[in-house]
Amino acid sequence: MPNYKVYVSDYDYSDLSIEKEVLEPIGAEVIGLQCKTGINLAEMAKDADAIIQQYAKISRETIEQLNKCKVIARYGIGVDILDVEAAYENGMIVTNVSDYCIDEVADHSISMAFTLIRSIPAYNKATHEGKWHWNDWNSPVHRMREMSFGLIGFGRIAQNIARKLLPFGFEILVYDPYVSESYMATFGVQKVTLEELLKRSHVVDVMCPYTPQTHHLINEEALEIMKNDAILINCARGKVVDNKALYKALKEGKIAAAGLDDTEEEPAKVDGWSPEMNPLFKLENCIITPHSAYISQSSLNEARRTAAENVKAVLLGQSPPNIVMPKKKANLQNA
């Protein structure tokens, strides 16, 4: 009989070999589920000692039914799909992979921006249709060192983006109410208000976490403020951008183009999803990738191994290296 049962709520990897390699030597049975929505997870994993979570939403109601569970380990950084407060109130520890995909998301975000700045999708479409002329662009192509690049949020990924952009000569504007002007200055970027960033930026890159305060942060009003030739990039959570408002702005030429790594409905979490559910997929000036900004083979392996090591530490009575504190407790510690 195994000493522990570790359930993986859902996963899109080909197998769970990495998780098993870490956990089976301590007597843990690793059981893979495909409960992407999180509905009925408590019934499926009622005897869990630990849960590793990918896309499944784990609510307070689910947590309160997991009587044996000691730890919920996220494969990624964000914990917006997990009720962290409820987990701690019910005697569980929450972990994440805090340094996960910092290079990958930065590189993906920059790649999307550069692809649209240089109008590559429009040129590619034109040449495939037999057109061969420089003015078959989506909008006039700017010289990069004459452009302003706006970052909404200035966490570790945005800081990495800023560092990589500076050699191209961009003026980098940043909106983040939680980061000081003096700290931003050490990265060679300028702290501005959100309104100023939207007005001045040729590229607006969303890099903030998803919270109730950032839900639809980029809405119709924000899009109205942006330049007509501006580009919107979102490699953060899909719901930070109001997709109906974005569709309208792109369709009416209020902004030039957009690059999204996830749409608002978050297809990975929707059973039976099809692109017909979101009209953005019909627009040629909106490029969309399947929530793949974090992907490299190295990052995937790292996330899986780190999540499993976090679980292993908790089950063995040790302190895991990547603890996520509930907000109340974190605020007290930082006071």
3-state secondary structure of 264: coil
In angstroms, the Cα distances linking 164 to 133, 205, 231 are 31, 14, 18
117 CB contacts (<8 Å, ≥6 apart)? 141, 142, 144, 147, 202, 203, 231
One-letter amino acid at 59 equals S
Residue 80 DSSP SS3: coil
CA distance 312 to 300: 18
Q: Following DSSP, what letter does each residue of 194-258 receive, concatenated? A: HHHHHHH-SEEEE-PPP-TTTTTSB-HHHHHHS-TT-EEEE-S-GGGB-HHHHHHHHHTTSSSEE
Q: Which one-letter DSSP state was computed for residue 58?
A: B
CA distance 150 to 139: 19
Residues forming a β-bridge with 207:
none
Contact between 129 and 75 (Cβ < 8 Å): no
Any idea which residues carry the catalytic annotation? 237, 266, 291
User: Do the Cβ atoms of 255 and 233 come closer than 8 Å?
Assistant: no
DSSP, collapsed to helix, strand or coil, labels residue 77 as: coil
* Pairing verdict, β 323-324 and 231-234: unpaired
Which structure tokens are listed for 156? 């570790």
Of 273, 122, 136, 148, the C-alpha closest to 203 is 148
How far apart are the C-alpha atoms of 35 and 77, rounded to whole Å?
A: 20
